[in-house]
Structure 1
């Protein structure tokens, strides 16, 4: 059986129809990834799936292709108008939901596939109109889906044939428990169910509640692992010098595209402003930003307008940003599984990448848990402290100016009820000198 899997060379050999093979080819997918090669044949046989694979391994294709093949078969049997609301995909984050829908649309572009994305932070009426067009695929975050099931006239999921839980370990957490229960009660019991995730814990009762029937479990990776092409390092640093080390690393790797992970939304804004004052092209993304601004920041990063994305864990799961060279853990995650997702933003699809974790004296215990989880001791990032501290004066001044700007922006927000603080961040397009001069003018006015 293993030998057969090794021999799979093409999507056609997995049993996909010619239209979908061509769609894969047009997206540049020459050969199936491991999770696709193992999951698709079982899915085409009508089995329920639990798929465990490293992030960046092609999970979306592994569930989207069998669903599209089933939709094509159903459309050939009876008029396609009968196949609205054919599948529902649940995602824990807005960005991942949008990305999944984009991949469905790309794969289904030749068959007039219609999708609807139901996420928070976007106009409810627009989403209701999209549902009125009777899409084949609904991709949603649980809370907003429940909202539409309760309040959008004529919308029901009684006809769906497929339910997908992507990042299933997150969806099976208590945060989504109530919404998930309501959704499971609103859909038919006769359906196919797919659960996919980079990490999976043994939540047996919750998996049973999701109504899987004799599922096939596919492990395309060890339970908690990182890819071999990822170079992982750490550096113990005093908390007071962490900003200096961050600046030093970004300066040393100035040509790289980097993601910097922080623990709080406030830290994303502060670090982005500080780095811009130091002439870096940085932009923040966090859960406190509006959906439009989050997507705007992501698009600027993808387009290369900014090469440093400062983010919270809202960006650690499922975002396919192919060109990331380096991930920096500015704050060590308190949940060690989040480390797997963060560093999975780089070294995707066979490419190499670097992950550096800055560990201060208060984060040591969390870092030890990460090493236990991944089963290896990481090498230390080499840096001469005297070279790093050459940045201290500039970093201190840049941080002072940033704190002052955030304080002023906070005052504007209270007076005008707007989002000037985020606008300050969005105004930057590499024009650091303008930024600094505006800072200086503000300080003179004060």
Structure 2
């Protein structure tokens, strides 16, 4: 309780924690910024502490494996786990690219109760030339957590996660707790895979009807031509600085490609804005350093330009502004939009600004409009440009469904 740093649980924690303690499998969908990481870490660490006090824990391999899609998210979960297990004698380790395989193996074979990992590195460790880790991993695992499950089960790493879940020496589904957490759990493919690799007779499904954080104020800028975006971005940031008494707050700018990210960051720096860029072409050391500087509001790193995959792993509790320089252009643009905007408004009101260029974005407009309508912040010009008939309305606060029970 001392390590938690708070007294009252947030809604998702209040709903999830008892079911994990009682041994249920979980599929949990809750909007970004609601506290899902603590919702699974707290009961797992609590269970491990109780087991250790009762009969001791094996130190020969991970008892809990937590998978996340990016290094930034894995590092963030690792840090949260370290904070929560401080003084408990529960050990935690991490595994992702740019950590030497030898260093990973040394740490994991010595002592590791909770492992936070990227799927690529985990599969690498499980290859036959690392047979010692393969044996250790599968001996004692009782908890499997898949964070950001929507990305894993519908994105480019689907085959990797299926390869892992189908591993012949993985404990049977009903011999471990399978916990899926995500801002979105509404695609058919995701639910089919999650159900296949869960004990559906002992599962709880928790879904939030709120698609977006209610602390976020949404604005949409009507951009006639894409070439106008650079000047509009600078004007927008100048206005934000003026509203903040001449100080540039933390602003995250989202784009769709690394090339655009580099160009936007260079333009901002050339215009003397404290901007920097982050994406997967940079080394992990540089990415970690950039995020650290952004979190502590370094004088030269107050505006962070990012692509979606890296940006979704950056958790800054008091970030005030998100700017969607480009609207997500994937098949799940609605949920990527929600995730991007959810970088702000976590502990206090935030602002999400979106540049909408009809010529480029009309195909994604209905999806974005449904989010804004759900938040009761659909601009009149946007409403007039897109068809919003039949958009699903928010139906309630939280629904809980125990599969296996009528």
Which residue of 2 is the match for residue 118 of structure 1?
A: 95
For 1:352 and 1:296, locate their aligned partners in 2 and report how far apart those are by CA, in whole Å.
Answer: 27
Structure 1 gap segments, 5+ residues each: 1-20, 382-446
Which residue of 2 is the match for residue 144 of structure 1?
A: 121
SS at match of 1:57: coil
Q: Is 2:195 the counterpart of 1:208?
A: yes
Which residue of 1 is the match for residue 177 of structure 2?
A: 192
CA displacement 1:173-208 (0-9 Å, x = unmatched): 252233222322242110111111111123332122
For 1:374 and 1:51, locate their aligned partners in 2 and report how far apart those are by CA, in whole Å.
Answer: 23
Which residue of 1 is the match for residue 231 of structure 2?
A: 244
Which residue of 2 is the match for residue 218 of structure 1?
A: 206
Which residue of 2 is the match for residue 291 of structure 1?
A: 284
For 2:370 and 2:318, locate their aligned partners in 1 and report how far apart those are by CA, in whole Å.
Answer: 29
Q: Is 2:258 the counterpart of 1:258?
A: no
SS at match of 1:23: coil
CA displacement 1:7-42 (0-9 Å, x = unmatched): xxxxxxxxxxxxxx2221xxx222101000000011
Q: Is the 8 A contact 2:220 2:353 kept in 1?
A: yes
For 1:315 and 1:178, locate their aligned partners in 2 and report how far apart those are by CA, in whole Å.
Answer: 20
- 1:327-366 matches, within 5 Å, as 327-334=322-329, 335-349=333-347, 351-360=348-357, 361-366=359-364
Which residue of 2 is the match for residue 440 of structure 1?
A: none
Q: Is the 8 A contact 2:60 2:110 kept in 1?
A: no
For 1:211 and 1:48, locate their aligned partners in 2 and report how far apart those are by CA, in whole Å.
Answer: 7
1:279 CA displacement: 1.2
1:166 CA displacement: 0.5
Greater fraction helix: 1
Which residue of 2 is the match for residue 154 of structure 1?
A: 132
Q: Is the 8 A contact 2:59 2:111 kept in 1?
A: no
Which residue of 1 is the match for residue 219 of structure 2?
A: 233
Greater fraction strand: 2
For 2:267 and 2:106, locate their aligned partners in 1 and report how far apart those are by CA, in whole Å.
Answer: 42
For 1:133 and 1:266, locate their aligned partners in 2 and report how far apart those are by CA, in whole Å.
Answer: 42
For 2:313 and 2:259, locate their aligned partners in 1 and report how far apart those are by CA, in whole Å.
Answer: 23
For 2:111 and 2:163, locate their aligned partners in 1 and report how far apart those are by CA, in whole Å.
Answer: 21
Which of 269, 276, 292 is 2:269 aligned to?
276
For 1:308 and 1:380, locate their aligned partners in 2 and report how far apart those are by CA, in whole Å.
Answer: 29
1:329 CA displacement: 0.4
**CA 1:370–1:212 in structure 2 vs 1: closer, same or farther (change >3 Å)?**
farther
Q: Is the 8 A contact 1:74 1:83 kept in 2?
A: no
1:59 CA displacement: 0.3
For 1:380 and 1:272, locate their aligned partners in 2 and report how far apart those are by CA, in whole Å.
Answer: 31
SS at match of 1:365: coil
1:76 CA displacement: 1.4
- Between 1:237-246 and 1:168-177, the stretch displaced more is 168-177
For 2:271 and 2:326, locate their aligned partners in 1 and report how far apart those are by CA, in whole Å.
Answer: 20
User: How many residues were matched structurally?
Assistant: 355
Q: Is the 8 A contact 2:48 2:90 kept in 1?
A: no
Moved beyond 3 Å, runs of 4+: 79-84, 373-377
Which of 53, 63, 73 is 1:86 aligned to?
63
1:325 CA displacement: 0.6
1:336 CA displacement: 2.2
For 1:293 and 1:113, locate their aligned partners in 2 and report how far apart those are by CA, in whole Å.
Answer: 30
For 2:97 and 2:154, locate their aligned partners in 1 and report how far apart those are by CA, in whole Å.
Answer: 19
- Between 1:302-311 and 1:150-159, the stretch displaced more is 150-159
1:125 CA displacement: 2.2
CA displacement 1:136-158 (0-9 Å, x = unmatched): 11111111111101142411321
**Greater relative contact order, per chain length (Cα 8 Å cut-off, separation 6+):** 2
Q: Report the TM-score, using the length of structure 1 for normalisation.
A: 0.76
Q: Report the TM-score, using the length of structure 2 for normalisation.
A: 0.83
For 2:286 and 2:146, locate their aligned partners in 1 and report how far apart those are by CA, in whole Å.
Answer: 26
Q: Is the 8 A contact 2:220 2:379 kept in 1?
A: yes
For 2:297 and 2:199, locate their aligned partners in 1 and report how far apart those are by CA, in whole Å.
Answer: 42
For 1:330 and 1:188, locate their aligned partners in 2 and report how far apart those are by CA, in whole Å.
Answer: 45
For 2:313 and 2:263, locate their aligned partners in 1 and report how far apart those are by CA, in whole Å.
Answer: 25
Which residue of 1 is the match for residue 385 of structure 2?
A: none
Q: Is the 8 A contact 1:263 1:312 kept in 2?
A: yes
SS at match of 1:60: helix
For 1:22 and 1:281, locate their aligned partners in 2 and report how far apart those are by CA, in whole Å.
Answer: 37
For 2:43 and 2:326, locate their aligned partners in 1 and report how far apart those are by CA, in whole Å.
Answer: 39
Which residue of 2 is the match for residue 432 of structure 1?
A: none
For 2:103 and 2:206, locate their aligned partners in 1 and report how far apart those are by CA, in whole Å.
Answer: 38
For 1:296 and 1:380, locate their aligned partners in 2 and report how far apart those are by CA, in whole Å.
Answer: 42
Which residue of 2 is the match for residue 436 of structure 1?
A: none
SS at match of 2:3: helix
- 1:309-324 matches, within 5 Å, as 309-324=304-319
